[in-house]
Structure 1
């Protein structure tokens, strides 16, 4: 398994990194995978390229961060996954450390063509604006190329009743207490105006407002609402197609959060589904049917119960997330080829080991299984589906 990225020496430059160095971590991680999944994983060649051929994949997943929750830890960075298809890269969520991990993985900003956000919890968005903040200029010529499509939640519209024991609820930004993706970027641009305006004069930084096409996903036709029907049964919503991939989405049930999305991506080499944060629900099972790879969040409810966590937190885990045993059931019912466990909670391996994660998922799922680790590369290919 890869060593903790935070413990590695600092990388002198992005150019040097892209010429080799840290990209070897993906190969090391792949070699450590269980035999059932080893055929799907391989490390990139030097320079971050993935030529076709034995052990190489035109389409691959790069697990930039695999931690669940807004709690920093030494084992894993925040949840973020890159999907690389040929010379194009697409990002799904951007938690803590996503930008640094993107560079460490040997990925190039100029290849980034789309970004997709499952929901607006900070552990999924902490680095989202940083791609714009840090990716516009570069001494080695690797900078973002507009336009980049960004998809995610709009304004929720209302706050739901509170869970847990009665206590004062903070009311942040009372004029707009449920901001959406466009608000997040507009307010962040305003807050960093001095940075952008100064660098526009010192370094000829381009206008940051021209780089992203932000699309807030319209769920008005689904019958959903933010109070008592957050993820009704629904047909997938078609979002995006660029001639390389197509992306669809559905609502999933993530506690009090609205809207919360899963994404299904059809590539030339197979179908990948990202669960986002979700409780066990039929929407996601139907949505994942026959996928070649399912990247699914996983929590260990038993661990937190054994530690005596309070009732409200356990309710949050049981209703807003999916215990690892149930994750295996989701994958089995959907008949997916490979299950990748990510967004792990707890994220520290001294709390729940990879062996324990694997054992829990194996209760129901007998297909290829990967316990996610940061900077792991997983090749995507069409899978011969079986009834797991």
Structure 2
């Protein structure tokens, strides 16, 4: 029996702050009866509910990197899961993930002290585990294999290994889904995406770069992908479909710029889209 793998775009907005029509960046991969969350941006709990997934149904969280727009929804997910007596949750991510776990546990202390009076609550430390991983296979079972490579989101800043940013590839039953994560141009990500059915790619336009404070513009242009770069990566990797996520807007000119480089299917991702 072939395992099916399904992608739900929970939130497609990138960057800090709220967005009127998009939730923060988060995706749900459903495979072999497991529900795996990729990143956990703002409003992830609400978006899971819209997708028909309770907070306790999430099996594992994979973080591409630890920028706040990718992690801000994780404390809410964990505290509600704890209050509802959910099962243990494992968060897998780059170096720094364990410190993030410790911060979430500190956040939970006050709520635990109050709600614990209403009835016994388990020690939250027993319900949240963190596993820091290096590039390579980061998860594997009979249903799915997940592989990570380091991308170029931190190309302008050297953290001496203290912080890293990953792209992720899911392989299951002959189908593959790749998440670029936040990245600039990256041969490693192109190789990871080779032959993928779906490439979930971030995108930053010139309008996006112009809208941020001047000190951030170099980061926006060097450590994110332009529409043309998205198209070139997709073409070089020979993927079947590009799905845009972690973007502000995809106007006709942006989609045309991708299409000039890439002849496959291009989808401007929207919240709660299933693929």
TM-based fold match above 0.5: yes
Rg bigger for which structure?
A: 1
Superposed displacement of residue 354, structure 1: 4.4
| Alignment partners' CA distance in 1, 2:61 and 2:237 | 26
Pairing 1:153-302 to 2, within 5 Å after superposition: 153-154=94-95, 180-218=96-134, 237-255=136-154, 256=157, 258-301=163-206
State the SS of the aligned residue for 1:107: coil
Is 2:83 the counterpart of 1:118? no
Say if 1:152 and 1:309 are closer, same or farther in 2 by CA, change over 3 A: closer
Superposed displacement of residue 287, structure 1: 1.0
| Alignment partners' CA distance in 2, 1:149 and 1:278 | 25
For the 8 Å contact 2:139–2:147, the answer to whether it is kept is: yes
| Alignment partners' CA distance in 2, 1:196 and 1:207 | 8
State the SS of the aligned residue for 1:189: helix
Aligned to 1:7: none
- Post-superposition Cα deviations, 1:177-229, rounded to whole Å, max 9, x if no partner, equal xxx111122122123312113223313322221223311124xxxxxxxxxxx
Equivalent residue in structure 2 for 1:361, among 250, 258, 275: 258
Superposed displacement of residue 251, structure 1: 0.6
Aligned residues: 268
Superposed displacement of residue 86, structure 1: 4.3
Aligned to 2:87: 145
| Alignment partners' CA distance in 1, 2:246 and 2:237 | 20
TM-score (norm 1): 0.65
Aligned to 1:12: none
Structure 1, gaps ≥5 residues long: 1-51, 155-179, 219-235, 379-388
| Alignment partners' CA distance in 2, 1:181 and 1:304 | 29
For the 8 Å contact 2:101–2:128, the answer to whether it is kept is: no
Structure 2, gaps ≥5 residues long: none
